[in-house]
Structure 1
């Protein structure tokens, strides 16, 4: 048990990022499928709403539990939130472009493409968050 705790403490940021990334994906799916299946909202509108919900959830959990930021000044948090949303928007555009290329240009299957792209986006989001949004000052 001590070894597990030692490994966790050494890799806490990455482990928490993976855990909360899974929760973020869950938030996205729950919102998306609730809007499309229960409320009969068009899938594109549901996807936008789900993306917003997931990004908000990701911002809060990344800030508090992954990168453990404690500065709560409005100006600082607003700047950080803007950077977070812009970086997620960039990775969202990258995700769409890579999916298009893999599926329509290179004829890879949709499922394998989505899985591959998800890994790329998770890594890209982590880099953006670590280097740009939640960097240590």
Structure 2
């Protein structure tokens, strides 16, 4: 446990902890995405677009929970704020889903690469785009919410 705490403290000091933890959970979301894609495509013999859509749904649900709770540690007050945050997350993920589908089409149908190779390459692009969307547009840091509250309080 001391090794973990020391590692975490080092990354926090270098302002790299959030990136590290995002890449960790983003890697897990990528595993969810690839495994469900392969399962749908190979085991159930679905087309690559349908398999890709199923894998996208599974990874989006996984990513929202992990990003909210552990990566960005976002706090929302009430169901309305949670729905708003999830809506923004979903819009950003729909944009990256479009990127995902375009890249898959490009690699599979135009360049004739294998489905797994196309999926892996595409996921690198998607993970980078999703980090940007999540960091900039979706999740608020705990400190940001607390600062907003203290700034709006009467003096």
TM range (shorter): 0.7 to 0.9
TM-score by length of 1: 0.78
- Asked if 1:125 is matched to 2:125, the reply is no
CA contact (8 A) 1:84 1:133 kept: yes
Among residues 43, 50, 53, which one is paired with 1:48 in the alignment? 53
| Structure possessing the higher radius of gyration over alpha carbons | 2
2:8 match = 5
* 2:20 maps to 1:31: no
Residues in 1 aligned to 2:10 and 2:70: alpha-carbon distance in whole angstroms:
17
Q: Distance in 2 between matches of 1:40 and 1:97?
A: 21
1:77 to 79, 82, 86: 82
| Counterparts in 2 of 1:121 and 1:68: CA distance versus 1, 3 Å | same
Q: Say how many residue pairs are matched.
A: 134
Question: 1:68, 1:79 → 2: CA distance?
Answer: 16
**Deviation digits for residues 5-47 of structure 1 (CA, Å, limit 9, x no counterpart):** 3223342211110000010011111212222222333332221
Specify whether residues 37 and 121 from structure 1 end up closer, same or farther in structure 2 by C-alpha distance, changes over 3 A only.
closer
Could you tell me which runs of 5 or more consecutive residues in structure 2 were left unpaired when the two chains were aligned.
146-155
Q: What does residue range 101-112 of structure 1 map to in structure 2 within 5 Å?
A: 104=110, 111=117
RMSD (Å) for aligned C-alpha atoms: 2.9
